[in-house]
Chains A and B, each alone.
Chain A
Amino acid sequence: MSVVQQRTNVMLVGLAALALTAACDNTVPAWQLDNDRIIAVRATPPGLLAGERARLDVLVTAQGVGPQVISPQLAIAVPSDAAMVEVPEALRAAVAPEGGGWRVTAPSEPELAQLRGSLGLSADAPVPLRVGVRVELGGAPFDAVKTVMLGEARANPALGAVTVGGAAPADGLIVPVEEDVELRVEVAETEEVLWLTSVGELSDQDDPVATLRRPKDSEDPVDGHVSVVVRDGEGGVTWGFWTASVAP
């Protein structure tokens, strides 16, 4: 019976949490661009054969500035899971600064084979390298992790056709007040989408077709951005962003 009691507890807590969250959550939504944070970390390419190199860059957004692509201030190999007590030396050495930014270099094939053995991976499996990156926004540090696959070639996806209000976007988008604006991006079935903006409110922001609406009494900036990020589920990522203004 005690299992029942416990499960009922969990159920009630879940119910209460959902209801309370719905009623109490007035925090900044995940689609809001007018704040400081990391939106995505990109390794180009996200999968490397032995000896190949990848460049790291970060899509961030900052309050009053909007989205921009920058290099991380710091990058370091970190444990890939809780069971990994110490990062193997071959992985630590794979992340290094270069030309004001950071790059990842895949170890040699013998080193990869050794890593596969020590990590319990099969002979042809890619070796995951988890990279921790840090950027500074508004004087505060922001951390993120990104996994680069070593021993297997991968590429970032290309951004599919995007339309905003039925037209291809360009800087200088005009967002009407109290009207729905359709945001659409063509993606593969396995790809995941996130729309963001600072000039209105979004619904279905996780779907390929989202809706942007600028309420009449909104206190958000009248000049900002619309952005879309597409992830392929295998470490690949791409994005696009455009300046936008609220119609006078």
Chain B
Amino acid sequence: MLKQLCVASVASLLLPGAVGAQPTEPAPQAPPAATATPAATATATGRVVEAGTGRPIAGATIVIDGTEHRAVSDADGRFSLAAPDGVTLVVSAVDYEIALAQVAGATAEISLVRIGAGPGEIIEVAGEAPIAAPGATTIARDDIAAVPGTGNDLLASVDILPGVTSPAAGPASFNGLIIRGSSPQDSKILVDGFEIPFLYHIGLRSILPTESIDALEYLPGGFDVSYGRASSGIVAVTTRGGDPKFGAQGELSVIDGGLLAHGTVGEDGQFLVAVRRSTIDFVLPALIPEDADLNLATVPRYWDLQTRYDRPLGGGWRLAVTTIGSDDTAELYADDEMDLDRRFFGRTRFLRGIVDARWRRGEWSASVAASSIGTQVKFEAGRSQFFDLTALQSGLRSELTRTMPTALGLRDVVARVGVEGNYDRNDFSLAVGEVPDEGQPMDPNADPDEIRQRFSGVIGVADVGLWASTAASLGRARLTTGVRVDAFTRIREVAVQPRAELSVAVRDDLKVRLAAGSYRRPPEYQDELLDRDIDPERATQVVLGGELEPLEGLKVQLSAYYTDRSRLLTRVDDGQYANLGRGTTYGGEVLAILRRGGLSAWLSYSRARSTRVDRPGAESRLFDYDQPHDLNVAASWKLGRWQIGARFRYSSGQPFTPISSSVFDSDRDNYVPIFGKVNSERASGHHQADVRVERSWNVGRVVLSAFLDVQNVYLNQDVVGYGYSFDYSERFAFESIPILPSIGLRGEL
């Protein structure tokens, strides 16, 4: 991960507020608090050049302030130095003024600071921040264009990471993420520190185009106290700030098309605007066979929109205002005569606004962010079932950090405190059939007119979270400890969650990390909100990880984990919930990333087992999302104007509960399925290969790129689930899409 360095002159440090206010040197955008990582030693690399000329300065000395740790720039002005997050670098060279640079954040931003009135030196520093937890990974925007099969979709690329269940495993993973065998609701997807309600447009594309994302941090477990309300993993997305240089780009493919522009507003403001609309709704009708018993009244259609405005506020503060919106609509009839009994309509849309202010001065930094999101979800199935929700959520999040080079005989001491609060107001109206719980098989032929649950009303949910942590280094070891306290007011529960991580740099190229902690997931899914007498589900995670750089450009991460889950919600005989379940998940993961010249290659493999006991004395069974094997191998070569890539993936099929027989109900003229053991069978494994070819041209000032991204090139069709005949005497397979090509054109100004 590239690390951001805030660079400040001596003069600016002596004059409070001067850092962010220098008109010619825009301060770097700070990452949201949610993606800020606890300080830990990492390798910062950078380059010292002369202002104005760009000439490299050889022999410049770079020292970590207050320590003897130093480096000297080479003939090209480059240096590297083991430097923890938050420390200050003192940069000096003969004939030049001294400059200070602060290792500050998580993402690649190059900041330029002119020292004094005359030409001084410009310091470009890019560092590699420590990975936030053992087994965690960060993907930068530029990384992902190289991965075939993702359609240049950064969020979709998450499934190449170890521990993430491939979307090919089944439609249940269309939304949310399945991390380390747990249910999607056990993990959170955050954008700039705040949760978003769904990740994908109709399972095809993520709601944020890659060009509007700065980086994505994937934390499959062992994450620190700044994240709460999740018992499995976190995906934290940082949106991209504007750019002082005006730029625009447009892209059109058979799936969607979009426009993006960025530049300056006024003297020191920067903006980014992106909008996208599906095009698949123009293509899809032509692909449906005439004999298919299907009528798309409204072809799946989506929009999304992102805006971001950044500017310094003075006094060391910087402001970012972000909006994210999405709108999906689909209406279809599983009947070419548009029988209302076979109608399905769905619309989901939301608009989130975030105001984020950040401040940094010397050893101190702070962030304050406020956000609101309005959401509407509406669906109708057949003549009787419907779900209508209008929700408004408001949240506040703030964090204060102090970074000290030394304290109490320890090095690189970082202390943090934070607070967040959320209030959800959900206005529901629903009449739905059976919605299965974890492990509960669903009758695939259930009568769509049979209503099992009706509700109309407003539910308010307020939660508050507080956290504090400290991190410090001693010798080659670094210890981070913290505690998080969540107050789930609706269920009147306070959860104290201690977490810690020990990291030891065994060698310069080998680090071993051990993290352990307690996590809570409040009851808020399906009808869990209606029951105020249940507790949060608990997880205790232990993660052991290693990070190795055996060769230049090659990084290898290994991790092993064990998660003990308790107080899992189980439906008891009276239909109410009770915290009777227990579960365990354990496994191992490997991730290797090679970057050398024009070659980028990824290898990830995970081995996992996830089991659960629904109540004391019950038989152990697999979780719905248990996935023993998941392998991804991807490589991409950049050859001049060509970029060619290929990917192969294999993942185990999803467990399912078979239907062994049925009983005919003569009075109702339907069949009642008799289920076998829960999750006792598994769909066949899924494998496919994807390729991507891209070529670019310069046409005047515009860089044009044409790309072809083909998923499943050898037309492999695997079973992703089963349907049954009306009497359950026959079973038929739902197969994966045989091939999904995407061809498109992108222009960049």
Contacts and interface: CB of A to CB of B under 8 A. Distances in A.
Interface of A: 1-30, 37-38, 40-42, 82-83, 132, 142-147, 192, 194, 229, 231, 235, 237
A27 B666 contact: no
A16 B184 contact: no
Interface centre among A17, A22, A26 (most CB of B within 10 A): A22
A15 B195 contact: no
B143 interface: no
Contact of B389 (A3, A24, A132, A192): A3
Nearest to B526: A6
B176 A144 contact: no
B693 to A, nearest CB: 30
Interface string B279-311: 000000000000011100000100000000000
B667 A235 contact: yes
B172 A9 contact: yes
B171 A4 contact: no
Nearest to B352: A1
B663 A143 contact: yes
A10 to B, nearest CB: 6
Interface in B284-342: 292-294, 300, 330, 332, 334-335, 342
A16 to B, nearest CB: 4
Contact of B723 (A24, A142, A192): A24
Interface stretch (B479-487, B576-584, B640-648, B728-736): B728-736
Interface centre among B196, B348, B573, B661 (most CB of A within 10 A): B348
Contacts of A8: 175, 197-198, 348, 377
Contacts of A82: 573
A20 B203 CA distance: 14
A38 B666 contact: yes
A23 B292 contact: yes
B529 interface: yes
B378 to A, nearest CB: 9
A145 B663 contact: yes
B727 interface: yes
B174 A16 contact: yes
A25 B729 CA distance: 13
Nearest to A131: B666
B426 interface: yes
A9 B197 CA distance: 10
Contacts of B203: 12, 16
A25 B445 CA distance: 12
Interface string B196-225: 111000110000000000000000000000
B198 A5 contact: yes
B732 A24 contact: yes
Contacts of A13: 171-172, 174
Contacts of B373: 1
B236 to A, nearest CB: 15
Contacts of A3: 389, 391, 426, 524-526, 529
Contacts of B251: none
B507 to A, nearest CB: 43
Nearest to B376: A4
Nearest to A232: B667
Given A2-B185, A4-B377, A22-B293, A14 B344 contact: yes
Contacts of A18: 332, 334, 342, 344
B732 A1 contact: no
Contacts of B725: 25, 27-28
A209 to B, nearest CB: 15
Interface string B374-396: 01010101000001010101000
23 contacts: A2-B525, A3-B391, A4-B350, A8-B348, A8-B377, A9-B184, A11-B377, A12-B174, A12-B202, A13-B174, A15-B346, A16-B174, A19-B294, A20-B723, A22-B334, A28-B730, A37-B664, A40-B666, A42-B666, A132-B663, A145-B663, A146-B666, A231-B667
